[in-house]
Amino acid sequence: MKRFVLAALALTAAGAAIAQPAAAPKPVIPDPPPMNMTPGEGPAQPPPAPQGGTALQMLGLDKITGRPTGITAPIGKEVKFATLIITARFCYSTPASETPETAAFVQIEDRRPDQPARKIFSGWMYGSSPGLNAVEHPLYDVWVISCNNNAAKVAASNSTAPVKVQAPDSSDKEQIQALPEGAGR
């Protein structure tokens, strides 16, 4: 009986806390699309404006002929591969100094001439784990290869001024010390 009364009091206190108005409104920050989205589900709105790469490099496979096809999908633009319409919404590849990984948010529709268009995939794809969130289609397979991060490369190569490289413990007053006599024999 005590547990029941304590639980009822706790629920009442929680309800009272929820019913009180907030002191100041908090800014609304949209959540990123869930990473475990199933095919057919789509986010209410597309992901935020791309800050990663400018184009997504993918590989498409025709399962009947076995022919692979390279696909370059500019961010935000539709690209056609056989009967599939691929729209890359966001992509990012890690720099060469880190463990290689490419992540991309991709939406894919199947538009066959004899059937109405249907969304077959909407979610995150990873270059290092193509089977983690794969496209399920009887005729075609699509997976992420890399992301074209031109913006980062251009920004890194803009400086043309020479840079003087120094050792961490160096100073301008260091001089080469002379070796004692007979040290080179």
Question: What does 36-69 look like in DSSP terms, one character per residue?
Answer: TPPTT---SSPPSPP-S-SEEEEEEEETTTTEEE
Number of domains present in the structure of the chain: 1
Reported pTM = 0.53
User: How far apart (Å, rounded) are the C-alpha atoms in residues 60 and 118?
Assistant: 19
Query: For residue 18, is it within any domain?
Result: no
Q: Identify the domain containing residue 147 by its residue range.
A: 55-153
Query: For residue 16, is it within any domain?
Result: no
Query: For residue 33, is it within any domain?
Result: no
Return the half-sphere exposure (C-beta side, CA atoms, 13 A cut-off) of residue 174.
Answer: 8
Query: For residue 91, is it within any domain?
Result: yes
Phi then psi for residue 5, to 5 deg, are -65, -45
Query: For residue 92, is it within any domain?
Result: yes
- Is residue 172 classed exposed, middle or buried when 0-12, 13-18 and 19+ CB atoms within 10 A define those classes? exposed
Query: For residue 95, is it within any domain?
Result: yes
Model confidence pLDDT, tens digit, residues 113-158: 898 989 999 999 998 887 787 888 889 999 999 998 654 444 444 4
